[in-house]
Amino acid sequence: MSVVATFQIEFRRFLDPAGHVTQPLPPFAADPQNLIPLYRMMVLTRTFDAKAIALQRTGRLGTFASSLGQEAVSVGVGSAMRDEDVLLPAYREYGAQFWRGVTMTELFLYWSGDERGMDFSGPRHDFPICVPIATQVCHAAGVAYAFQLRREPRVAVAVFGDGATSKGDFYEAINIAGAWRLPAVFVINNNQWAISMPRLRQTAAQTLAQKAIAAGIPGEQVDGNDVIAVRHAVEQALAKARAGGGPTLIEALTYRLGDHTTADDASRYRDAETVKAQWAQEPVSRLRTYLVRCGAWDREKEEALEKECASRVQAAVEEFLAIKLPGPEQMFDHLYATLPPGLQEQRAAAVAFAPRAAAGQEEDHG
C-alpha cells in the first residue's frame, strides 16, 4: 500500500486570550490605530445585541439570535471585504452587516417580523439574513459563478455555522466551487453548538476546515476570537479569489456565549463552568487589552465609546419603534404578479379582520 494523498490544516492566531502578540502582525495591524475601528465596531455590535435581547424580553421583537462572543468573526469578515463583494450571511453576522452599511433600524425591523428590514438601504447586492441552515452556501456558489461569467473582480462571501457543515447544501456548494474555481470565500462561524448539539457530536472530523480537502480547495482554521486573524485570513482568501485562484474555506473557532436564540435556554445542556472558562477567551476584551498595552486606548476613550454606542443604539430603537407596522396584505402582495383566486379571498379576509384584531376584538373560533 502506498500513500496517494496527504494534507494538513494550519491554525492562525496573532493575539492570544491575554492580548499578547504571538507572531509578527500583518501589515494592516502593524499600527494599533488601524485596529481601533475594528474594536469600536465590536463594541457597537455587542451593545446592539444586548438592546435587541432587552427589546425581545419586553415583547417588541420576535425571537432574536445573539452574536455575543462572536463579534470578531463578523467584524473580521466585514472589514476585509470590498464594497462590490457580496455577503451571504446567516443570522449572527451583525458586525459584518453594520460594517457594510446595514443599519441597526433595519435589523430591528427584521427581528420584529417586518421583512422591510431586509431591503437594505446600503449594500443593495448583499443577501438577506438566511435562517434555513446552509442554503446560502449554495447561493454563494451561484453568485460567484455569475461573477466569473461576467469577468467581474468580485467575490461572494458566505458565513454559516458549524451545524451547516453537516448539510448537503454545504458539500454541494464547496464541491462545485472547487471544480469551477469560483471566486468564493466560505467562512464557518464555529461557535461549537448547533442549537443544543455540541460540535463533537456533529461530525467525526477532527476539524471543520479539513472538509475543504474533499472539495479540492484550501481550508484553514483561525482563532475566531482574534479579529486580526479573521480579517487577515479573509483578506488573503479574497485576494486569491479575485485573482482567479478559486475558493477558500475558513473555519473560525469561537464560542456562543449566549443562548442559541431568545427561545432557547442553554443552561439546560451546558455547564456553567465551561461557559465561564470561555469568557476568558472572548474577543472584545482581548483586543482592548492589547490596545491599552500599546497605549492606543484608555479608560476615558472606553467610557466615551460606551456612551456613543448606547446613544446610537437608542436612536435606532426610537426610529424602529416609530415605523408604522405593515398591514396583513403585505404577506400576499409580494408573492405573485397576479394573486390566485384562493389567496385573493384570504387577502380580503385578512384585511377585513386586521382592524378588529388591532382593537383586541378577536373572534371566537371555538
Active site residue 299: no
pLDDT in tens, 199-222: 999 999 999 999 999 999 999 999
- Of the candidates 256, 286, 288, 290, the residue annotated as catalytic is 256
Reported confidence tier of residue 304, pLDDT bands at 50, 70, 90: very high
What superfamily would CATH give domain 11-322?
Thiamin diphosphate (ThDP)-binding fold, Pyr/PP domains (3.40.50.970)
User: In the chain, which residue ranges form alpha helices assigned H by DSSP?
Assistant: 36-57, 71-80, 94-100, 104-111, 135-150, 168-179, 211-215, 227-242, 272-279, 283-294, 299-322, 330-333, 341-358
Residue 361: is its pLDDT beyond 80? Answer: no
Q: Mean pLDDT throughout 220-235?
A: 98
- Other CB atoms within 10 A of residue 116 CB: 11
Give me the residue spans of the domains in the chain. Answer: 11-322, 330-354
Residue 229's identity, in one-letter code, is: A
Q: Residue 326's pLDDT band (boundaries 50, 70, 90)?
A: confident
Which residue among the candidates 57, 82, 269, 336 is catalytic per the annotation?
A: 269
Note if the pTM is more than 0.75: yes
Contact 154, 84 (CB under 8 A): yes
Averaged over 192-201, what is the pLDDT? 95
Query: What pLDDT digit, counting tens, does each position of 70-121 carry?
Result: 999 999 999 999 999 999 999 999 999 999 999 999 999 999 999 899 999 9
Residue 363 has pLDDT above 70, yes or no: no
The mean pLDDT of 148-171, rounded to a whole number, is 98
**pLDDT for residue 258 is more than 60:** yes
Give me the catalytic one of 154, 260, 286, 288: 260
269 is catalytic: yes
